[in-house]
Amino acid sequence: MKIELIKIGKPTTNESKTLVEMYLKRTKILNPIEGLEYKDLDILKGRNKSIFLPGQWMVALDERGKEWSSPEFSENIKKWLDNPAIKSVVFIIGGPYGLDDEIRNKANIIWSLSKGTLPSDLAWVMASEQIYRAFTILKGMPYHHA
């Protein structure tokens, strides 16, 4: 299953981008994943393909969403992988002002990394790490120490 990790807004530091690229590279060994960055939400909505396609599972990151432990998150990934109706999963992280209501309302699920509000770059790094961690849990690799 293809996974996309979309970030809205330009990264404020090269370090955050470097960390995300490292986790995406590690994840690609376990499952296809693509990291995409868009200057703003309007550009994302205007891209050649819609972000709301049939068979696409949309996960919006927002502090008002559901919190999961790493093993719980990996179980969700497994459910999505095992569901033949889901062809791809898109994780979307808002910019400095978060995601608009349209994205949150159309998302299949809203995932919270913390009850607190995180800077978008930090959420981007944390989400990429958690996706990598979920796949290592599913593959029985020793990365996660429960």
pLDDT band at residue 49 using 50, 70 and 90 as cut-offs: low
Q: At 36, which CATH number?
A: 3.40.1280.10
pLDDT for residue 22: 98
Could you give the number of structural domains in the chain? 1
Q: Is the pLDDT of residue 100 over 90?
A: no
CA atoms within 13 A of residue 44's CA, in its CB half-sphere: 25
pTM flag (> 0.75)? yes
Interval 45-67 mean pLDDT: 81
Its sign, for the CA torsion 76, 110, 89, 122, is: negative
**24: closest CA among 137, 128, 124, 122?**
128
Sort strands 56-66 and 88-93 into parallel, antiparallel or unpaired: parallel
Instruction: Let me know if 69 is exposed, middle or buried by CB neighbors in 10 A (0-12, 13-18, 19+).
Output: exposed
Q: Is residue 83 part of a domain?
A: yes
**Contact 74/42 with Cβ under 8 angstroms?**
no
Give the integer Cα–Cα distance in Å for 126 and 82: 24
Residue 109 lies in a domain: yes
**Mean pLDDT for the stretch of residues 22-33:** 96
Gap between the Cα atoms of 15 and 102, Å rounded: 31
- Tell me if 146 is assigned to some domain: no
Flag whether 144 is in a domain.
no
Q: What is the mean pLDDT of residues 100-109?
A: 90
> What is the percent of the chain with per-residue pLDDT over 70, rounded to a whole number?
92
Q: Is residue 87 part of a domain?
A: yes
Token reading at 13: 């530091």
Confirm whether 129 is domain-assigned.
yes
> Is 145 a member of any domain?
no
Burial (CB count <10 Å: 0-12, 13-18, 19+), residue 93? buried
Q: Percentage of the chain with pLDDT > 90?
A: 72
Helix, strand or coil, per DSSP, at residue 29 = helix
Q: How many CB atoms within 10 Å of residue 54?
A: 7
Query: Residue 22's domain spans which residues?
Result: 2-138
Are the beta carbons of 123 and 18 closer than 8 angstroms?
Answer: no
pLDDT of residue 102: 85
